[in-house]
Amino acid sequence: MNRGLAAAAFILGSGLVAGAAAATNPDAAAPVKIAHGPVRMPSGVDFGRMQLVNEARLIRVYTQMTGVGDSSDDKLLFSRDVAQKVNLTNRQVNRRFMDMILATRRFQVFDDSTTVVRDGASQTLDGKLMDITIDGQVVGSTQDIIDILPYRKARTAVRLSVQMKDVSSGEQLFPAGVSVNGEWGMAQGEGTLLPPSASTSSPEMQISLANDYQRALDKALTQAVSRIGQVLRPLGRVTFDMAQLGERQVIAHTQPLAVAHCDGVGTETSQCDLTLVDTRYHLAVGDYAVLSDRSASGVRGE
């Protein structure tokens, strides 16, 4: 029998504990009724990244940001000199983008603004590159002033385009690209307030308007990180059949065995309840898990 994927919340090295454990563990979650039937396989299962998991390696991604604060379509109310004062350069925003991806604790992340970094840190598997490159570009930004008598308020919008490529295959992992928008000042309590006599050109207002742009951009970056996680979903080790397709091997068959809900997720072990089991197969030590579509949209918290 070939075991396949169990759709469940997964942390590398974690195991599944069935609901029956609640009978002996006073801290266990309440037992969950198990349904029986076929289990749907989550999308995004990649053989190469599975092999990295088998070797306890994280995926390496290389990020680069361009067009920050100086896109040809920008209509901003602060100057480029002010943008540099508040760390709104391509390199500095890329560092924030890297930190957001690192916060998912699923990737090794490198600055790809120069080829020297990638040449010195490339990840290989069986002699082939396994790197993922992520290019983000600010393609348009606007700031305008609206009246909220007796004050005025700034509204800022940033549009970010993201491309993600598998270096090994050359495949664009966002086939049509991803465009995300970040906004700041649309909701109450957001956006720079200008008293009736204030000018947008004053030093204080210039800094505040640049900070508005940064907040809108961070919202766009957060959406981009979420989309990255939906494609490069967490994977656990599985067993599988392989078939030769032309010059490459592909996964010929995978079989999902169960759905599990994990209330307690730890770094080394997780306590989970099985909520759906395919009775044609049996779970065993050595079966691993992949996040379901619903689970993959969230980021693990402490």
pLDDT of residue 237: 52
Pair 36, 62 in one domain:
no
Same domain? 31 vs 158: no
250/227 same-domain check: no
Q: Answer whether residue 302 is part of any domain.
A: no
Half-sphere exposure in the Cβ direction for 164 (13 Å, CA): 15
Q: What does the pLDDT read at residue 207? A: 95
**Residue 285 in domain:** yes
Residue ending a domain, choose from 180, 212, 231: 231
Residues 102 and 148 in one domain: yes
pLDDT in tens, 181-193: 999 999 888 999 9
Same-domain status, 245 and 227: no
pLDDT reported for residue 16: 35
pLDDT at residue 272, as a whole number: 77
Give residue 5's pLDDT. Answer: 33
What pLDDT score does 225 carry? Answer: 94
Tell me the per-residue pLDDT of 86-124, one tens digit each, with 9 for 90 and over.
889 899 999 999 999 999 888 889 888 765 555 666 666
The pLDDT of residue 295 is 63
Domain tally, the chain: 2
| pLDDT tens figures, 123-135 | 665 666 668 899 9
Whether residue 153 is contained in a domain is answered as: yes
The answer to whether residue 167 sits within a structural domain is: yes
Q: What number of other Cβ atoms are within 10 A of residue 32's Cβ?
A: 17
**Do residues 76 and 209 both lie within one domain?**
yes
Same domain, 136 and 226: yes
- pTM, entire model: 0.63
Domain-ending residue, one of 177, 208, 231: 231
Q: What is the pLDDT of residue 301?
A: 47
- Residue ranges of the chain whose pLDDT lies below 50: 1-23, 238-239, 299-302
Does a structural domain hold residue 156? yes
What local confidence, expressed as pLDDT, does residue 29 receive? 59
Token pair 């760390």 in the structure block, residue: 87
Query: So what's the pLDDT on residue 168?
Result: 77
- Domain hosting 156: range is 57-231
- CATH classification at residue 225: 3.40.50
249 and 215 part of one domain:
no
Instruction: Please check whether residue 52 lies inside any domain of the structure.
Output: no
Q: Is the CB of residue 14 less than 8 Å from the CB of residue 265?
A: yes
Q: Are residues 281 and 212 in the same domain?
A: no
**What is the rounded distance in angstroms from the CA atom of residue 128 to the CA atom of residue 209?**
46
Determine, yes or no, domain membership for 301: no
Is the residue at 71 inside a domain?
A: yes
Both 74 and 217 in one domain: the answer is yes
Q: What is the pLDDT of residue 205?
A: 94
Question: Do residue 142 and residue 290 come from a single domain?
Answer: no
Same domain, 34 and 176: no
